[in-house]
Amino acid sequence: MTTRPLSWRCRERVLSLGDRPLIMGILNVTPDSFSDGGRDASPDAAIARGLALARDGADIVDVGGESTRPGAEPVGAAEEIRRIAPVVEALAAAFRGAAEAPLISIDTRKAAVAETALAAGASIVNDVTALTGDPAMPDMARRYEAGVVLMHMRGEPATMQKNPAYDNAAHDVADTLAARVRTLCAAGFDAATLAVDPGIGFGKTLEHNLHILARLDLLLDLGRPVVIGLSRKSFLGKLTGREVNERLAGSLAALVLAAMGGAHVLRVHDVRESVDAARVVAAWRTKTEKEAT
């Protein structure tokens, strides 16, 4: 399946989303993330990691100062700002003026944290609550004209995996995100700034995740870029029997399936390998289009 060309406005930059899926590299500035256990918790380590993600080909570097893994406890805004501010500032300075430099995204559900990052040079707000977790978030994101990732999540990270249930997971998720896009546009958002993410693993079982992945067409029908994060997720561990740091092969297989299904942006831990996989998918998409004409 070929993806639907779209553009995504993220402050002063407009990303063209076509044959090649974009790669969003994950940069956790946390002591308790599920995938790296605090490897990049110090500012110096996180900055070095962010620069490495850029060298490996990330189109977006997604900086997060609060773990949202299942069972995670919330972090206060002041602590989250302390973690992310020096990292965003340093990366923004390093990327400024560089050709093909990545955009910086801030992975947060708090308006104060997002505003700190945007003021320091970030361009995207990646919010697991789809801008519902903090009443100040919508006005702040709109004021900065930031790109926004609206993610679907049932409940809170601490409780979201306790018996999640849907009538039809793929349809329910698409309907919820469609309603959120309509609400924000009615409140004055430019639809061109909005992207959607089904929230794989956020209040969903293995079967729910597979159903959503198989029906990405429902999200594409919303007419906004589709962002999806599958990297190292627990459902891949259930399918393969692998521990979290042994899931590269499963992550790449899921990435290719999502890209072939039309996803525009892929959120990953292993950027270099994911860029290679995305290039193969891009070549396949181009050939498929030529053969169809």
- Which are the catalytic amino acids? 233, 267
> Is the alpha carbon torsion for 282, 218, 233, 64 positive or negative?
positive
**Contact at 8 Å (CB) between 10 and 292?**
no
User: For every residue of 46-96, which 3-state class applies, written as one string?
Assistant: HHHHHHHHHHCCCCEEEEECCCCCCCCCCCCHHHHHHHHHHHHHHHHHHHC
Please report which helix (H) or strand (E) contains residue 2, including its range: none
Question: For residue 126, what is the DSSP state?
Answer: E
CA 11 centroid distance within chain: 17
Task: Give the whole-angstrom CA distance, residue 191 versus residue 280.
Answer: 30
Q: CA of 124: how far to CAs of 2, 108, 147, 218, 237, in Å?
A: 25, 10, 4, 24, 30
Task: Give the whole-angstrom CA distance, residue 240 versus residue 217.
Answer: 26
Tokens standing for residue 234: 């627990």
Instruction: Tell the residue number behind the tokens 């999200």, with chain if given.
Output: 219
* Residue 94: Cβ within 10 Å count: 15
Task: Give the whole-angstrom CA distance, residue 244 versus residue 50.
Answer: 21
